Structure 1
Amino acid sequence: MLSKKTVAVGLVTMLLSATASAADYTVAQNNKTFKKGGEKVENMTIQAGDTVHFKNEDPFFHNIFSLSDLKTFDLGSYPAGESKAVTFDEPGEAEIECAIHPEMYMVIEVQ
């Protein structure tokens, strides 16, 4: 039979491992497109628990949002140089758009 201390240590180790494995990604808004690593991105695959930072690199406002069942959010309008983050906790697919620039569209697949 395991002691309460052994079980507690195991749970803490599992939680720390899950947190440590989460990644951060930056997706820029540049020239009215989504870009990752300087290249246009329309599809992106991440893991559950990962965070995506949406950074505005244009000289005008963007308003990034998703109405997807996986993750519904609206980051509001924000100016050049600002970044806002979204953590994707569950597997699925999220369609990401800009409320100001309808041509901006990408899909994030969370595994």
Structure 2
Amino acid sequence: MKSISTNPIRKKTIITVLTGILVCSALYAANEFSVAQKNKSFSVKTLDIKVGDTVSFPNEDDFFHNVYSLSPAKIFDLGSYKKGETKKVIFDKAGIITVQCAIHPEMKMEIVVK
């Protein structure tokens, strides 16, 4: 019987399977949060989440919003979207992210990713 270390195909297969298990475990452990946009404000001022979590940003106003961040921990721009639409962001790095609306500069919140 050959050992794992001497059979490169078997070794590669085992590594691939273990990697898949780890990725699935991380995805299973991740949570999803919702931060609504209503009355030209975010529904929360601060949100604490973990690396791998997702935040959805539903637009509940009768006008467009454009959620974005220029924070080094997560740079994103969801573009303009209308009432009833929701866009999501996965936070894959720890840090403090300032989130704003490009259309309504008074809209501002922080997401703390641990």
Q: Same fold (TM over 0.5)?
A: yes
Distance 1:70 1:47 in 2: 13
For 2:51, the equivalent position in structure 1 comes to: 48
* C-alpha distance in structure 2 between counterparts of 1:31 and 1:86, whole Å: 22
Q: How many residues align?
A: 105
Q: Which residue among 73, 92, 107 is the counterpart of 1:104?
A: 107
- Which aligned pairs between 1:1-111 and structure 2 lie closer than 5 A? 3=4, 4=11, 7-35=15-43, 41-111=44-114
Larger radius of gyration, structure 1 or 2? 2
- How big is each residue's C-alpha offset from its partner over 1:11-30, in whole Å with a ceiling of 9 and x where there is no partner? 33222111111111111001
State the TM-score, normalized to the length of structure 1: 0.86
Paired-residue identity, %:
50
- SS of corresponding position for 1:60: coil
What stretches of structure 1 of length at least 5 have no aligned partner?
36-40
Query: Take 2:99 and 2:110, find their aligned partners in 1: how far apart are those partners?
Result: 6
Unaligned 5+ segments in structure 2 are 5-10
State the distance in 1 between where 2:14 and 2:74 align: 36
AA in 1 matched with 2:81:
Y
> Which region of structure 1 is more displaced relative to structure 2, 2-11 or 86-95?
2-11
1:6 is displaced (CA, Å) by 5.1
Higher share in strand: 1
Mapped to 1, the partners of 2:54 and 2:18 lie a distance apart of: 25
| Structure 2 residue matching 1:64: 3-state secondary structure | strand
CA distance in structure 2 between the aligned counterparts of 1:7 and 1:71, rounded to whole angstroms: 30
Pairwise CA RMSD: 1.5
Q: Which amino acid aligns with 1:75?
A: L
* CA offset digits 1:74-99 (Å, max 9, x no partner): 11111100111111101111100011
Q: Provide the secondary structure at the position in 1 that maps to 2:90.
A: strand
